[in-house]
Amino acid sequence: MMSIGAFAPPFRLVGGYFAVGVMFLVICVFTFWNADFDIMLSLNSALFFHTFLLGFVISIIIGALYQLVSVILEKPFFTLKFAYLNFFVFTIGVISLLLGMYFENLIFLNIAGILLMIFFLYFCTVYLLSFIGCKVWNFSVISLLCSGIFLLFGILCALALVLVLNGRLDIDFSFLVSLHIYLVFGSVYFVILGASSVLIPMFSLAHKSKFYLYYLSGISYVLGFFALFYEIKFSEILAIISVILFVLQVIMILQKRIRKKFEYWSLNIYFSFICLILGVIYFYFGESEKLIFTLSFGFLYSFIVAHLYKILPFLIWYNYISKFVGKLKIPMLDDMIMKKVAYMSLAFNVLAIFFSGFGFRLSALILIFISIVLLITNIINFFRYTKFGQLKKGK
């Protein structure tokens, strides 16, 4: 059993991805306003999807993966060489992509295509190579492996899309877009499945849970990929079944939790899963904008925020505070959170989902923007603790 300390990547690397992710989250509010979800293949819609999924979600996930892989695989990340360089390639690539989509500028799009391709191919390669020699093969490991494979193929589909757009490849464009979306969303989904199977029991203190539904959920999503080649409707049904199984699995785990208290982590988790179910309902009724808002700012945002409240304080505590154990009075992780601010952030998030349900786009976006500002306030407060020893000595 390996520990985080043995192979922990530099905090600056993980923190860098988190900081960039939150920066893109702010931009998401504006790109959502600009998007027209009646035309899913429009550049404006793509601009929002890429700001949110690539800029925010993938940034956070990659930062978290650098940290979690060694813990879950019980071996080090294959290599951290060029990790900082790759981080800059990613950031500049995403910014170029967003500028290219916003200004409909091919030069920016081409630069973004090249940079992001380099970034993803390198990251996927070292990420997948990390599984070689892995001795533990439990659900979380299998999920993370699936996420890497989905991401790799999702990126190759993106390359194929660019080649089709340039007239160098002759494949059905909309089918390729479907493949790209299913694969990239799948990579995010499998990280969530794998990470949640470790983090939810850990943070809620729930043990003795069986993971059958997790496995069935993963299998259902993979089958959905193959169904894409046959009939897209089957694929959608299998993806929805996968989501329902996932929700049921989480309910089963949470039923066994000993930490019954409702706090910033658990409330965000409950809310995210309520939004996931709400998303399935919107999907059934063909409410595309409500579906996208709810899945983005309801499910994914809340799920990520819940874990940011746990992971960021922990990383700062581990890197900057733990060395003072036994020497100074040190804070617990819970003490590092501004709880009222965290609850207010969640309350504005709930209101945003509520207003979006009635089609009040502007109100929902203002509310989610306030929620994000409050989240950032808490994050800035976490970073104050990087000066913990100095602050104490100063006093």
Partner 1 sequence: MKKIDEVYEALSKIIDPEIGFDIVSLGLIYDVTVTNSSVEIKMTLSTKSCPLHDMILSWVQTAALGVDGIEKCDIDLVWEPAWNVDMINHEVRKKLKD
Cβ pair 176, 164 in contact under 8 A: yes
Tally of CB atoms within 10 A around 326: 6
4 near partner 1 (CB under 8 A): yes
Bridge partners of residue 206, in order along the sequence: 257
In the chain, the N- to C-terminal Cα span, in Å, equals 40
The binder of partner 1 chosen from 12, 81, 210, 261 (CB under 8 A): 261
322 near partner 1 (CB under 8 A): yes
Which positions from 327 through 346 interact with partner 1, judged by CB under 8 A? Answer: 330, 332-334
Hunting for tokens 């020699």 — which residue is that? 133
SS3 328: coil
Cβ pair 194, 140 in contact under 8 A: yes
Nearer to partner 1, 203 or 360 (CB): 203
The binder of partner 1 chosen from 186, 194, 201, 218 (CB under 8 A): 201
The binder of partner 1 chosen from 3, 79, 166, 174 (CB under 8 A): 3
* Closest distance to partner 1 from the beta carbon of 134 (Å): 14
Nearer to partner 1, 140 or 220 (CB): 140
Nearer to partner 1, 51 or 143 (CB): 143
From the list 107, 114, 113, 89, the residue with the least C-alpha distance to 20 is 89
280 near partner 1 (CB under 8 A): no
Tally of CB atoms within 10 A around 324: 13
145 near partner 1 (CB under 8 A): no
Cα–Cα distance, 252 to 374 (Å, whole number): 31
Cα–Cα distance, 97 to 107 (Å, whole number): 10
* Closest distance to partner 1 from the beta carbon of 307 (Å): 13
Give a three-class secondary structure readout of 72-103.
HHCCCCCCCCCHHHHHHHHHHHHHHHHHHHHH
6 near partner 1 (CB under 8 A): yes
135 near partner 1 (CB under 8 A): no
The DSSP string of 31-82 is HHHH--TTSTTSHHHHHHHIIIIIIIIIHHHHHHHHHHHHHHHSS--S--TT
Q: What's the token pair of residue 316?
A: 């700062």
Cα–Cα distance, 67 to 61 (Å, whole number): 10
9 near partner 1 (CB under 8 A): no
* Closest distance to partner 1 from the beta carbon of 274 (Å): 23
* Closest distance to partner 1 from the beta carbon of 355 (Å): 34
211 near partner 1 (CB under 8 A): no
Region of residue 124 (left: phi > 0; alpha: psi -120 to 50; beta: else): alpha
72 near partner 1 (CB under 8 A): yes
325 near partner 1 (CB under 8 A): yes
The binder of partner 1 chosen from 39, 85, 129, 205 (CB under 8 A): 205
* Closest distance to partner 1 from the beta carbon of 260 (Å): 5
SS3 257: strand
The binder of partner 1 chosen from 122, 215, 225, 314 (CB under 8 A): 314
Q: Among the candidate windows 9-17, 58-66, 126-134, 313-321, which touches partner 1 by CB under 8 A? A: 313-321
Tell me which residues touch partner 1 (CB under 8 A): 1-6, 71-72, 140, 198, 201-203, 205-208, 258-261, 310, 314, 317-318, 322, 325-326, 330, 332-334
